[in-house]
A and B are shown apart, each in its own frame.
Chain A
Amino acid sequence: MEFYLYLALFSPLVGSMFAATLGGKPKTLIAGIIPSALLFVSFVASTILLKHILGGGEVVHVEMMTWMATGDLYIPFGFVVDQVSITMMMVVTLVSTVVHVYAIGYMDHDKGFNRFFAWLSAFVFSMLILVMSDNFAGLFIGWEGVGLCSWGLIGFWYHKESATWAANEAFIMNRIADLGMLIGIFLVYWNTGTLQYSEAFAIFPTLDTATLTWIGIFLFVGAMGKSAQFPLHTWLADAMEGPTPVSALIHAATMVTAGVYLVVRSNELYALIPNVGLFIASLGAFVAIFAATMALVNRDIKRVIAYSTLSQLGYMFAAAGLGAYWVALLHLMMHAFFKALLFLGGGNVMHAMSDELDPFKMGGLGKSMKWTMIMMTVASVALAGIFPLAGFFSKDVILEVAFIDGHYVIYSVLLLTAALTAFYSFRIIALIFHGEDRHTALGFHPHEAYNFMLVAMAPLLVLAIIGGFALKGTYVEMVTALLPATEYHIHSAAVYWTMVIGTHLIVLLSIAYAYKKYMSPSVKVPDGTSDMEGRFCYKLLINQYYIPYFYEEYLVKPYRELSTVFWEKVDMKVVDATVDGIANVLYSTGENTRTMQSGNLSTMLKWMVSGMVVLLSLAVVFGLAVKYLDEIKMCLSSLGV
């Protein structure tokens, strides 16, 4: 079994290294095929491990080698495959394989084809380290690794100024959050003396609540950065500058879920500090509705899908915060499927429309892109949480969780968000695929994507449809061996059915409204003159509540000014001046004493005599010091030396 663990973990690394050796060369197909094949190998290995775990086999725990063994600190490179990590591994490897195959087609005409696959496989490797590690330090390595690869992938088209800016924004925001996480890890080590999950969690119940609260808060700050919770959310929307496969893999299914994984993994900690959990849940609910409102008016398909990811992440944190860890993980899994599918479908549309992103310029694409339309519609239905597609089985449970525990505010917020989610998802679908054809007039000639790309997307489609049905039962049974197995059932059947049917009704109404509004022939490309655009709330939403503007004006600019001041005044004038000054002193001393060697004997004799005088005076001084040593000692001690 250890063999399969190593196989699953290191195959993406081998693929990445292989593609990296071809990095500088022009596109070679093999640089895309080999990493995809190796990822498939990793997927198969994960499946074998899954079978092993499902069959009641014991958790696979290996320690590959020691990383640090200094003093009391012992950190190994250890990996564990238990129920939680196998779930994550399956999600990661499956979506990664699909995305890799898709990217072979998507990045077809790109110059950096080989480089792309190197980065992408490296990312998968880091993510696998993150989920398979058995201690906080390994988690942190994976954490930073995915951050780095995400930077490389968002800024993949590095000659585009906006892409590099977005990459830096993502990385820096993650870094700021990582500071919090590091402090959390330090606190864990400080209080428990170990970074291994099992050992640290065993010691946590003995610590006092204040310490645990701080640890929980700081670790969550790290999760906030990675999973783009408010206020560190602006990077996710800007990260859409990267190629679409990147968005599908990283910003839908894997990296942004790392924060949720952290909370789920540390469930034993958060179970001890329910107040922090409540805060997490509230923040999650807030982010859910916050993101949904911004997606309502956005005119960029990828951004809308990104906001929907953000919104669903809010759902996952709401569930995790309220203690329903298995529910959060289940939603993570289901969400990965249909969100990746949505992104890939959006990628097809973008490719067909030569990278145009404004849905108002499309319209009527259903005729030329049938399969993409079907896939995106199914994915949106799943996203809306309609029975019997995948989303229902997890989203509805989250609503039940909120309702049962009496958190009615969170419940209503999440319910409203569900309605908004349905609305904006179908707004996009309607604008792109239905209604009048607005794109031919603007000169676009769309065509469907390559067949193999559609075939690659097929597994996701299937899973989005049957995922809930087929997987939920086995999943719950497996994962509750590790996570708390609270059952969330509303006791009264009447209340339960009212809830379910009511939710469905609201969602279906939103969908209908969206279709009606955006399929009508009077839809035009907005050019800044319509009433809607003049309204205040429209302006507020389309500028993302002016938060990026606020960050730029009040955080980035002052910091840049401060850096400039430090550079010019402190570094150049003080540090450089000191170093140069020392060199100058040495140089000028040499220059000036060179004149001593004048070759004139008389001058040299004078120097000799003055040297003799100096030595004699030294002799006198030292002689006096030696003679009056005791008195000198008394004087100095009275002065306090």
Chain B
Amino acid sequence: MFEAVAFYLFAFLTILMFFITVTTSQALHALTALAAGMIFISAFFFMLDADFLGAIQIVVYSGAVMALYAFGMMFFDTTREIKEKQGNNYIVAGLTILSAILIVLIFAAPMITESVTALYPMTEGVGNTQEVGMVLFTKYLIPFEVAAVMLLVAMIAGIVLAGKKMDLSMTLMTDAEIEEAKKEKERNSRIFS
């Protein structure tokens, strides 16, 4: 009973939050609603005994990803309302409803649910985090390493794309050169302003 109340409550909240995200015309509202939705989703994870996943959801998604979005938002004028040309709403609505029905049908199909077997079954008596660790570092080792490489690439890409004056290396330049670069920049900004 407790579980049911929690489920319905969080479900309602999540849906509400995400709905706000996709329909609002204020960029900041969308960002806030998204962050809130992420947190409520982590509640689901905790309800499903996926403790590790829930923690990861809060830390990575609500923390890091949302922070990234927030920093990105600084580049844009967020006080303005987002003006969007109205697309054809009926198509959107129709397609969405159709796909929703189909997905539910597929998920609910008895054939699928009957033939599911557990590949890496959970063991009793250990905590979720420990189990995740056991599987992650043995059976999913390679995806783990590959994911690490991917994150590295993403990090470098982020720096390169968003950084300024990337051709200059502050650590290798002498102090005199740094001074000169600074003066150059001031002169340029005066000319252009």
* Nearest CB of chain B from residue A607's CB, rounded to whole Å: 10
Task: Say whether, besides A602-B87, A606-B92, A609-B95, A616 and B103 are in contact (CB < 8 Å).
Answer: yes
Task: Say whether, besides A606-B92, A609-B95, A617 and B109 are in contact (CB < 8 Å).
Answer: no
Within 8 Å by CB of A613, from B87, B102, B109, lies: B102
Contacts of B103 in A (CB 8 A): 616
How far, in whole Å, are A616 and B96 apart by their CA atoms in the complex? 13
Chain B residue with minimal CB distance to A618? B102
* Nearest CB of chain A from residue B99's CB, rounded to whole Å: 5
Q: A620–B102 contact, CB under 8 A?
A: yes
Q: B105–A613 contact, CB under 8 A?
A: no
Chain B residue with minimal CB distance to A612? B99
In the complex, whether A160 has a CB less than 8 A from a CB of chain B is: no
How far, in whole Å, are A623 and B98 apart by their CA atoms in the complex? 17
Contacts of A606 in B (CB 8 A): 87, 91-92, 95
Q: B109–A623 contact, CB under 8 A?
A: yes
Contacts of B98 in A (CB 8 A): 613, 617
Q: Which residue of B95, B99, B102, B105 has the most chain A CB atoms within 10 A of its CB atom?
A: B102
* Nearest CB of chain B from residue A259's CB, rounded to whole Å: 80
In the complex, whether A565 has a CB less than 8 A from a CB of chain B is: no
In the complex, whether B155 has a CB less than 8 A from a CB of chain A is: no
In the complex, whether A594 has a CB less than 8 A from a CB of chain B is: no
Type the 1/0 row for A611-636, where 1 means its CB is closer than 8 Å to any CB of B.
01100110110010011000000000
In the complex, whether B106 has a CB less than 8 A from a CB of chain A is: yes
Q: B91–A613 contact, CB under 8 A?
A: no
* Nearest CB of chain B from residue A621's CB, rounded to whole Å: 10
* Nearest CB of chain B from residue A609's CB, rounded to whole Å: 5
Q: A627–B92 contact, CB under 8 A?
A: no
In the complex, whether A480 has a CB less than 8 A from a CB of chain B is: no
How far, in whole Å, are A110 and B106 apart by their CA atoms in the complex? 90
Contacts of A563 in B (CB 8 A): none
In the complex, whether A28 has a CB less than 8 A from a CB of chain B is: no
How far, in whole Å, are A609 and B99 apart by their CA atoms in the complex? 8
Q: B102–A617 contact, CB under 8 A?
A: yes
In the complex, whether A610 has a CB less than 8 A from a CB of chain B is: yes
How far, in whole Å, are A627 and B109 apart by their CA atoms in the complex? 10
* Nearest CB of chain B from residue A606's CB, rounded to whole Å: 6
* Nearest CB of chain A from residue B93's CB, rounded to whole Å: 12
Contacts of B92 in A (CB 8 A): 606
How far, in whole Å, are A627 and B102 apart by their CA atoms in the complex? 17
Task: Say whether, besides A609-B99, A613-B98, A613-B99, A620 and B105 are in contact (CB < 8 Å).
Answer: yes
Contacts of A602 in B (CB 8 A): 87
Contacts of A613 in B (CB 8 A): 95, 98-99, 102
Within 8 Å by CB of A616, from B87, B91, B99, B111, lies: B99
Type the 1/0 row for B74-109, where 1 means its CB is closer than 8 Å to any CB of A.
000000000000010001100110110011011001
How far, in whole Å, are A613 and B106 apart by their CA atoms in the complex? 12
Interface residues of A in 575-626 (CB under 8 A from B): 602, 606, 609-610, 612-613, 616-617, 619-620, 623, 626
Give the total of B residues in contact with A, Cβ under 8 Å.
Answer: 13
Q: Which residue of B87, B96, B98, B111 has the most chain A CB atoms within 10 A of its CB atom?
A: B98
Chain A residue with minimal CB distance to B105? A620
How far, in whole Å, are A125 and B106 apart by their CA atoms in the complex? 81
Q: B102–A616 contact, CB under 8 A?
A: yes
* Nearest CB of chain A from residue B60's CB, rounded to whole Å: 26
Contacts of A612 in B (CB 8 A): 99
Q: How many A-B residue pairs have CB under 8 A?
A: 30
* Nearest CB of chain B from residue A330's CB, rounded to whole Å: 95
Q: B95–A616 contact, CB under 8 A?
A: no
* Nearest CB of chain A from residue B102's CB, rounded to whole Å: 4
How far, in whole Å, are A610 and B92 apart by their CA atoms in the complex? 10
Within 8 Å by CB of B95, from A610, A620, A626, lies: A610
* Nearest CB of chain B from residue A604's CB, rounded to whole Å: 12
Contacts of B96 in A (CB 8 A): 609
Type the 1/0 row for B106-132, where 1 means its CB is closer than 8 Å to any CB of A.
100101000000000000000000000
How far, in whole Å, are A620 and B111 apart by their CA atoms in the complex? 11
Contacts of B106 in A (CB 8 A): 616, 619-620, 623
* Nearest CB of chain A from residue B108's CB, rounded to whole Å: 11
Contacts of A617 in B (CB 8 A): 98, 102
Interface residues of B in 57-83 (CB under 8 A from A): none
How far, in whole Å, are A612 and B100 apart by their CA atoms in the complex? 11
* Nearest CB of chain A from residue B90's CB, rounded to whole Å: 12
Chain B residue with minimal CB distance to A606? B91
How far, in whole Å, are A610 and B111 apart by their CA atoms in the complex? 25
Contacts of A619 in B (CB 8 A): 106
How far, in whole Å, are A220 and B23 apart by their CA atoms in the complex? 94
Contacts of B91 in A (CB 8 A): 606
How far, in whole Å, are A612 and B109 apart by their CA atoms in the complex? 18
Chain B residue with minimal CB distance to A602? B87
* Nearest CB of chain A from residue B161's CB, rounded to whole Å: 19
* Nearest CB of chain A from residue B175's CB, rounded to whole Å: 47
How far, in whole Å, are A156 and B32 apart by their CA atoms in the complex? 99
How far, in whole Å, are A620 and B106 apart by their CA atoms in the complex? 7
How far, in whole Å, are A138 and B98 apart by their CA atoms in the complex? 75
Contacts of B99 in A (CB 8 A): 609, 612-613, 616
How far, in whole Å, are A613 and B92 apart by their CA atoms in the complex? 12
* Nearest CB of chain A from residue B29's CB, rounded to whole Å: 21
How far, in whole Å, are A619 and B109 apart by their CA atoms in the complex? 11
* Nearest CB of chain A from residue B48's CB, rounded to whole Å: 25
Q: Which residue of A602, A617, A626 has the most chain B CB atoms within 10 A of its CB atom?
A: A617
* Nearest CB of chain B from residue A631's CB, rounded to whole Å: 15
How far, in whole Å, are A333 and B92 apart by their CA atoms in the complex? 96
Contacts of B109 in A (CB 8 A): 620, 623
* Nearest CB of chain A from residue B64's CB, rounded to whole Å: 26
Contacts of B95 in A (CB 8 A): 606, 609-610, 613
Chain B residue with minimal CB distance to A626? B111
* Nearest CB of chain A from residue B107's CB, rounded to whole Å: 11
How far, in whole Å, are A485 and B18 apart by their CA atoms in the complex? 115
How far, in whole Å, are A623 and B95 apart by their CA atoms in the complex? 21
Type the 1/0 row for A244-256, where 1 means its CB is closer than 8 Å to any CB of B.
0000000000000
Q: A623–B102 contact, CB under 8 A?
A: no
Interface residues of A in 130-179 (CB under 8 A from B): none
Enumerate 19 A-B pairs (CB-CB under 8 Å) in ascending A order: A602-B87, A606-B87, A606-B92, A606-B95, A609-B95, A610-B95, A612-B99, A613-B95, A613-B98, A613-B99, A616-B99, A616-B102, A617-B98, A617-B102, A620-B102, A620-B105, A623-B106, A623-B109, A623-B111
Additional A-B contact list (8), CB under 8 Å, known A606-B95, A613-B102? A606-B91, A609-B99, A612-B99, A616-B99, A616-B102, A619-B106, A620-B105, A627-B111
Q: Which 3 A-B pairs have the closest CB atoms?
A: A616-B102, A613-B99, A609-B95
